[in-house]
Structure 1
């Protein structure tokens, strides 16, 4: 009789632990980096999933900005070795440029 009760109660008792394990195992969105160097963004185009944080790092010895064409994000002026980060929450294509050096352009594509 006890073994029948245990067989029925054990799956119910383990359900919360299994659910917690599945939640804990859900993959986090990996951070992505765009390097600024030689007056270019590298990579120039990047595809990420929604929820991903992209960090731009200025490797040039001159200041730059990162400005979305659609105005969804805009950095302050970042100097050498400084960073700007933005988390993309909505799918879409985000073109951007440096307002100091407008020939510098890039694009982030965000998928669901």
Structure 2
């Protein structure tokens, strides 16, 4: 029997089962994932209550290490357009390093665009 003979009800049931399995696997991966550890000299950002803390950062230009702790349950990211984008799953800690030219930048969460901060690199 092929999918056409099985009818649309069977196809819908299989589709729902596959989607449920994918969601379950994603949830388990998020809950059992690892946290990154900070390196000496890293700049720290905490994401809490759908906001970045602190809302403004200062750092020297050049090679930058950033550690982001997401205290929210929701997935967030730390993005500086054309420079860095770091996904930070809910209740997780992630680290990234990147090169930052001197200047003033806005960092933001692409998933929640009202979440923004300012970064000054000297």
Range of TM-score over shorter length: 0.5 to 0.7
Q: Which runs of 5+ in 2 are unaligned?
A: 1-39
| TM-score (norm. length: structure 1) | 0.63
Q: Deviations over 1:36-95 (max 9, x none)?
A: 001000001010112332221111111101121x32111235332231423344211121
* Cross-structure match for 1:33: 44
Q: Does the CA-based 8 Å contact 2:65-2:95 persist in structure 1?
A: no
Structure 1 residue 79 and structure 2 residue 67: aligned? Answer: no
In structure 2, the partner of 1:61 is 73
Greater strand content:
2
Structure label with greater radius of gyration: 1
2:69 touches 2:88 (CA, 8 Å); kept in 1?
no
User: 2 CA distance for matches of 1:43 and 1:83?
Assistant: 17
SS in 2 for 1:103: strand
Q: Which runs of 5+ in 1 are unaligned?
A: 1-28
TM-score when scaled to structure 2? 0.58
**In the alignment, does 2:58 pair up with 1:47?**
yes
Pairing of 1:84-103 with structure 2 (within 5 A): 84-103=95-114
C-alpha contact 1:98 1:105 (8 A) present in aligned 2: yes
Number of equivalent positions? 82
CA RMSD between the two structures: 1.9
